[in-house]
Every structure is written in C-alpha cells, then in structure tokens.
Structure 1
Amino acid sequence: MIQQFRSINPLNIILLIGIAILLRIGIFIDMPQQISFEFMEPFARLLLDIPLESAFSPLANILVALSILIIQALIFNRIINSYGLLGKPTFLPALLYVTAGSLLAPFLLLSPTLICNFLILWMIEKFLSVYKRAEVSSVMFDLGMLVALGTLIYFPFISMLPLMWISLIIFRPFNWREWIAVIIGFITIFFFLAVFYFWNDSLDKFYEIWLPLATRFPTNLRINLYDSLVLIPVVIILVLGFFQLQKNFFRSVVQLRKSFQLLFFMFIIGLASFYLKQNLVLYHFLLCAPPAAALMAYYFLYANTRWLYESLYFILFGSIIYFQLF
C-alpha cells in the first residue's frame, strides 16, 4: 500500500477514497441514532445561527465529514508537493492525512475542528510562502484574520495566534510591522463582532468570550485508555519519522528544515490547547492531523525496509478498524 502511494498516480485518488471508506466501516455498521453538530461557538451564533442539527441525518453527517476529509487530504497533498516539503512528489501526505483524520470515532463526524482544518491548511500554505517573500505584512494580517475566523468556529483555535510570531522567528528577521500586522488582522474580525454585539445590546456577552483564557490547565484528565491504544502505532511511526528527519536534517535545504520546525510547533500548540474548551472533546485533536501526517509521510517516503513500513501501516490501518468494531 505504501509503495503504491509513494508515487503520483491518478489511480491513487480512487484508492484513497476506498481507504477512507474502509476506515469508517465501524461507524457505518453501528451508526449513531442521532448526531449533534455545532458549526460555530455559542458567542458567534448571534452573528450567524445555522441550525445544522436538523439539516443532516447521521448518514449524511458521516458522508459530508468523509467528503470534507478527502478534499482536505488532496489540498494538503498539493501544498506539500508544491513547496517540496518531502523532497520529491508523492501521494503519501494525502494517505496519511486521511489515516490520521480517522484515528478516533469523534474524528469521523462533522465537527468544528474538521471545518477549522481548512483554515489550518490555508495557514500552512501561507506560512510556507513567507520564506521567499520580500514583504510579508499583508500575509501576517491575513493570517491574523484566519485565526480570528477559526476562533469564531472553535474557540481553542485562538491558540494558533502565537504560532504566527513563531513563524516569523523561524522564517524572518525581526520586523515590528510584521508582528503588529498579526494583531491588527485578528482584532479586525473581533472589532466588527463587538460592534455587532453593541448594536444588539449584548455587549456584556462579548466580554464572556474571553473567559476560557483564564481557565487553569487541568491536572487530571479522564481518558479511556482502551480507546487510546490505537495511538500506539501512531506514536511509533511519529518517533521513527522524527529519527528519519533528524538523520537527513542537516542535509536538507534550509526551507525544509524551517518548515518542519514550524509544523512541530503547530502540533504542540494544537495538542496543548484542549484546555481552552470547557469539556474535553476528542475531536479537538483533529487539529494535530496535518503536522502529524506530514511527519508520518516523511518517514514512509524515506524508510528503506519495505516489510517494516508496510507492516506498520497495516497495523495502524487494522487498529483503527478494530477499535471501531470492538
């Protein structure tokens, strides 16, 4: 399977769709009776209230989520190949994105984080374009607005704001205008939101938006250890990917090294920002899918022992299906 996706082949699109469906076989067999879906945060519904709970049946919800994931995988694959992030054209980023986006049962349904991943992909493309630009203030302004839009959909997305400055540290010499442009872009969206709240005599609710920022980092987490066993092969692949990347790190071009550093920080921020949501929701970790998929794709592209990398992906693939069914 991995060998097939190492090269660019139109047949891979059909195979990708088939794999994405197989990775959802458990939820198709045991379909939930009812699925709730919140498109935007409660504070943003005054601006745009879309009653999507009644618009989608459980089957439609799963199929729409599946379609979105496949589209995102193809976009992600194009971005990675366009900027030469893996060093050679391949279809592995799409395969690993679909796989990472199917790890846990909540990933298989429509969720705010699934929608936000469109913004994540857009941000990755803009980040990668920063390296060769002479002036990036306009890009950073756009990125600030993207973070604000993502925050309207899913509040913990606000944690991506520091990533803008991390990207400037990694890719650019210091320029205060570029740092300020991020804040201006972010504030622009929320300024208009504040005006809208003011017109509707609800300005007091606007202040409540920021209360989760004062939430203390939890010291006790209740996680089903049985369900998390599916993450074991993922961790193994990520560790092998890290060592593979480290092996070639200083032989790689500067842009590739900087890009993977940025993806590492994106992964860490996405992982740690779950506490900004009042109750832990597992679909939050879907924000980590793009950077994780990039590192896993790097391992599978440069691994030399075929039986090992094919077996690892088969174990991961089988584990996802097994934990859905049992």
Structure 2
Amino acid sequence: MPALLLLAILLKVGYVSAPVSQPMYMSDGGMLAQWLNSNSGSFRPGFLFGFGLVALMASVLYGGFVTSNRRMFAQRHVLVPMSMLLFSSLFPFSNVMLPALLVLPLLIGTFASLTRLYQSEHPRTSIINAGILSGLGYLLYHPFIWVLPGCFIGLAFMRPFRLAEWVLLLAGMLTPVYFVLATEFLTNHWHPASHLPTLGHIQWPTAISWYGWLCISMALVWLLAGFNSWQQQTRRMVIQGRKNWYSLLMMGLFMLPGLLLPQGNTAGMLALLSFPAGSLMANAFVSEGKGIGQLLFFWLLVIVVAVAGWGWKTGLL
C-alpha cells in the first residue's frame, strides 16, 4: 500500500496545475457538468482537479477491494489499483474530467451489486441497488448511459431470466430520474430535455500526434498481454469468478461506443473504462513465478506514461 500511494503521488501530482478551458466540461454532459460549469468561478481549478484525483484514488482502492472480494484473482494484491492508475495516466486528459471521476465509484458499486447476486438470499435488494446506482450515474454524467445495457447483461449472467427482476432493475434506474423531475416540477424548474443525452454524430479524430499513437499502441499491447494471461487464469477459476469476469468485460464492451458518442466525451469515458480495462490488464502482471519479463514490461509502461505526461504538459498530445 505505501508503494501504491507513492506511485499515485508521482503519477498524479502534476495534474493539479492542469490548464483550464471555458467551459470546463461539456454543457450537455449531465447534472454534474452543468453544475460545475455554472459554479466554476467559486472554486480554484487546482482544488477541483485535486478533488478529482482524490476521487480517482478512492475508486482504485474500491475497485481493488471488489475484484479481490469477488474471487476474480487467485490471491489478494494491489495489481488492479496499480493498473487503474497506470491506465488513466496513459491518457492524461482523462485525469481532469471531474464528472467522470466522480461517477466512477458508482460504476464500481453497480458492478459490486450485480455480482453480489450470485450468492444472495435477497436478490431484490441488490438488483434495486444496482438500478439506482446506474440511474444516478446517468443523471450525473450522460455518457454513463452506455453502462446501462451492460447492467442487464450482468443480471443475465448472475440470475436465470425472470421478467420481474429485469423490470425491477429498470425501475431502479428510473427512480433517480423520477425524483429529480418531481423536484424540478415542484420548484418550477421544469427542464426535462436537459436530462436527455445529445449523441450527435460520430466524429473520428483526424490528427493524432505520435504521443497519442504511442499511448494507444502501448494500451493495445498491454490489453493483449492481460487478455492472454486472463484466459489462462480462468481455466482454473471457480464458476463464480468466471461469471464475475464475464459481467465486467461485457460492461466494458458496451462502454466502448462512448469513446465517440456523445461527442467530446472521450476523456471521460476513458476515465470510466479504467475499471474494466485496468482489471483485465492487471492479469498481465499475474503469474505463479516472478518473471523478469513482467518487471521489464512494468518499467516500459512507466516510461511510456512519463512520455505521455510530458507530451500532454507541453500541448503535443
């Protein structure tokens, strides 16, 4: 843990002094973005960015606890928190997306509630909790909408199909919307259209610097290494662990379109993807022996992260 905290400080301290743009976040990105844009003058940018990094650190610790507690790894370690920190550092602009960082714990909590269904004697409680957390995540940050279909797939992995449970999950998702709309109606602030996502059209990136290609290439190599090791680990895993992994990976796959839709939220979606992607990539460092290859790969990853951070700081990324 001390080494993890030291790594977090070294990787993230530079983002507290990140440059500020106006508006800071997409105006149609959800209630959090709207509130932060309208109240940005009340806070110092360094405080907001620092608060986001604290939220990220809390999320990586929470993610490590959930994956270890759900038997997704053969032993307890801090590889998932470390991988989440390194993945987010590979894409530096995701570290200043405060709305996404603040709803990242809701994503992890949704996954924790769904995976609790495997041995739960009272499944309705976990289902409604997962629905409320995911619905709240969407209200606060609209790109979270891509997580919602993954919740239903996760429910299908954990429980035999029962229409009543699927309806209960949907009702849980709609509960935060109901209370927010009711409050707005009663206080004469009725603006239901502001809670609808604006998808727009896909806008492919046209100019990617060599810093960007370096980060993307490193992430793909790391992902392939983690996936290959994960396949070997799942052969010896109990069925509960495999179902948990399938649920998490499906949630991650459903989140991929959010990199392009809604427009301008690529950084925020990368921040959310740090949990499913970081969990899978952590398998690249899991093995029965202590291989020199893993150590060299780790330091190569740290070097690429340092280069990416320098490119972002100088405006070249």
TM-score normalised by length of structure 2:
0.86
Once residues 102 and 122 of structure 1 are traced to their aligned partners in structure 2, the CA distance between those partners, rounded to angstroms, is 23
Once residues 64 and 211 of structure 1 are traced to their aligned partners in structure 2, the CA distance between those partners, rounded to angstroms, is 26
- 1:148–1:190: 8 Å Cα contact kept in structure 2? yes
Q: What is the identity, as a one-letter code, of the residue corresponding to 1:209?
A: H
Q: What is the identity, as a one-letter code, of the residue corresponding to 1:210?
A: L
Where does residue 291 of structure 1 map in the other structure? 276
- 1:20–1:66: 8 Å Cα contact kept in structure 2? no
Where does residue 209 of structure 1 map in the other structure? 195
Q: What is the identity, as a one-letter code, of the residue corresponding to 1:141?
A: I
1:185 to 172, 175, 185: 172
- 1:233–1:316: 8 Å Cα contact kept in structure 2? yes
- 1:85–1:259: 8 Å Cα contact kept in structure 2? yes
Q: What is the identity, as a one-letter code, of the residue corresponding to 1:16?
A: L
Q: Deviations over 1:43-66 (max 9, x none)?
A: 647x97785413432332333222
- 2:97–2:271: 8 Å Cα contact kept in structure 1? no
Counterpart mapping for 1:84-233 below 5 A: 84-201=71-188, 203=190, 205-207=191-193, 209-210=195-196, 212=198, 215-216=200-201, 218=202, 220-222=204-206, 224-226=208-210, 227-233=212-218
Q: What is the identity, as a one-letter code, of the residue corresponding to 1:162?
A: P
Where does residue 270 of structure 1 map in the other structure? 255
Q: Which moved more, 1:35-44 or 1:250-259?
A: 35-44
TM-score normalised by length of structure 1:
0.84
Q: Deviations over 1:195-222 (max 9, x none)?
A: 233335554x314533536x45x26334
| Residue 21 (structure 2) pairs with residue 21 (structure 1) | no
- 1:165 and 1:282, CA in 2 relative to 1: closer, same or farther beyond 3 A? same
Q: What is the identity, as a one-letter code, of the residue corresponding to 2:248?
A: L
- 1:284 and 1:306, CA in 2 relative to 1: closer, same or farther beyond 3 A? same
CA RMSD of aligned residues (A): 2.9
- 1:37 and 1:211, CA in 2 relative to 1: closer, same or farther beyond 3 A? closer
Please, which runs of 5 or more residues in structure 1 have no aligned partner?
A: 1-12
- 1:81 and 1:35, CA in 2 relative to 1: closer, same or farther beyond 3 A? farther
Shift of 1:25: 5.9
Shift of 1:163: 1.4
Counterpart mapping for 1:34-113 below 5 A: 37-38=24-25, 44=31, 51-113=38-100
Q: Which moved more, 1:76-85 or 1:270-279?
A: 270-279
Please, which runs of 5 or more residues in structure 2 have no aligned partner?
A: 312-317
Q: Which moved more, 1:105-114 or 1:270-279?
A: 270-279
- 1:128–1:259: 8 Å Cα contact kept in structure 2? yes
Shift of 1:27: 4.4
Q: Which moved more, 1:158-167 or 1:226-235?
A: 226-235
2:239 to 235, 240, 254: 254
Where does residue 3 of structure 1 map in the other structure? none
Q: What is the identity, as a one-letter code, of the residue corresponding to 2:60?
A: A
Shift of 1:173: 0.7
Shift of 1:108: 2.2
Where does residue 10 of structure 1 map in the other structure? none
- 1:230–1:316: 8 Å Cα contact kept in structure 2? no
- 1:250 and 1:223, CA in 2 relative to 1: closer, same or farther beyond 3 A? farther
Q: Which moved more, 1:64-73 or 1:139-148?
A: 64-73
Q: How many residues align?
A: 310
- 1:106–1:282: 8 Å Cα contact kept in structure 2? yes
Shift of 1:143: 1.4
Q: Deviations over 1:146-201 (max 9, x none)?
A: 12211121101122111121012211111111100111112222122222333355
- 2:89–2:95: 8 Å Cα contact kept in structure 1? yes
Shift of 1:33: 5.6
Q: Which moved more, 1:259-268 or 1:14-23?
A: 14-23
Q: What is the identity, as a one-letter code, of the residue corresponding to 1:180?
A: V
